[in-house]
Amino acid sequence: MGKGQEERTAIVTGAARRLGAAIAETLHRRGLNVLIHCRGSVRDAEERVAALNNERPGSAALAVADLGDDEAPGRIVSAALEAFGRVDVLVNNASGFYPTPLDRAGPADWDALVDSNQRGPFWLSLAAARAMADRPGRGTDHDRSGAIVNLVDIHGMVPLAGHAIYSQAKAGLIMQTRALAKDLAPRVRVNAVAPGSILWPEGEDSPTAEVAAQRLERVPLGRQGTPDDIAGAVAFLALDAPYVTGQVLAVDGGRTLSM
Ligand SMILES: NC(=O)c1ccc[n+]([C@@H]2O[C@H](COP(=O)([O-])OP(=O)(O)OC[C@H]3O[C@@H](n4cnc5c(N)ncnc54)[C@H](OP(=O)(O)O)[C@@H]3O)[C@@H](O)[C@H]2O)c1
């Protein structure tokens, strides 16, 4: 067995910044090697890889790919195998998010939002599942399955106004979670985390204090969620839930109780 092959490995897509970065750091703290994937945020991703390797030499590597590219899944999985020799966990976190008003949306918006939120995750999951099947000394006696965790959205269940393409892409990713959980069992568990409002989208004006307060009134737990709330749920499904598959865990402070 080559260097590091006894250590479990996670691939986290879109992990240069924001929620993906928190997920990669949490899995790394749990002792996994991490392959950080990014598309355009290469400098941020390189800094993150360097910081993780500083903590534990040889524990982080980088793959740059656009999930709209048919070659991307093979390239991402190959990069993980080259760096660490095995794949145990895949977190499909990368996502395009922007409004698509019906009078302005076009096929290019469909491609951009479906490629990153539904199509890319599907082919990457299949490529990762093949690598998981070949793992040396697979998992522990208790959890011999590989794990896929998809980042969906509470708006994959209840549509977000003005975001018809994004909402249906996430709805597709929810069904993908359930379908692959069935088809990849027992070798791979497939689950999803559905965040509520955690980080405001970049490039959009932050809500006014009044709008932010109105939003919080609809959240029973009375606060905005944090990246660590999401990362903890991902780590639970990936590492601590050996008898759970096909589930969608809303991490939304209870927001969906009254949607
Ligand atoms: N933030 C929230 O409050 C919230 C709420 C509900 C659901 N979620 C879900 O949680 C996940 C993380 O949220 P976030 O706000 O941290 O995400 P984000 O910042 O909007 O996006 C994460 C990364 O996705 C990558 N990406 C986008 N399109 C891509 C493509 N075609 N190919 C490859 N990479 C692509 C980008 O990488 P580069 O920068 O490298 O280009 C981006 O940095 C997402 O799946 C999101 O839908 C988040």
Domains of the chain are 9-250 (3.40.50.720)
Whether 156 is in the pocket of ligand 1, judged by its Cβ within 6 Å, is no
Ligand 1 atom with the smallest distance to the CA of 66 is 32
User: Confidence class of residue 203 from pLDDT cuts 50, 70 and 90?
Assistant: confident
Assess whether the previous peptide bond of 195 is cis (omega < 30° from 0): no
pLDDT in tens, 100-159: 999 999 999 999 999 999 999 999 999 999 999 988 776 666 678 999 999 999 999 999
Distances (CA, A) of 183 to 121, 177, 187, 246: 15, 10, 9, 10
Lowest mean pLDDT among 41-55, 83-97, 204-218: 204-218
Ligand 1 atom with the smallest distance to the CA of 42 is 40
Given 121, 166, 188, 195, the catalytic residue: 166
Q: Across the chain, what does the average pLDDT equal?
A: 95
Residue 98 is a catalytic residue: no
Question: To which H or E segment does residue 110 belong?
Answer: helix 107-114
User: Are β-strands 33-38 and 9-12 bridged in parallel, bridged antiparallel, or unpaired?
Assistant: parallel
Question: To which H or E segment does residue 249 belong?
Answer: strand 248-251
Q: How remote is the CA of residue 37 from the centroid of ligand 1, in Å?
A: 11
Whether 19 is in the pocket of ligand 1, judged by its Cβ within 6 Å, is yes
- What does pTM read for this prediction? 0.97
Whether 95 is in the pocket of ligand 1, judged by its Cβ within 6 Å, is yes
Residue nearest to atom 29 of ligand 1 (CA): 116
**Which DSSP symbol is given to 206?**
P
User: Which residue would you say has higher pLDDT here, 203 or 87?
Assistant: 87
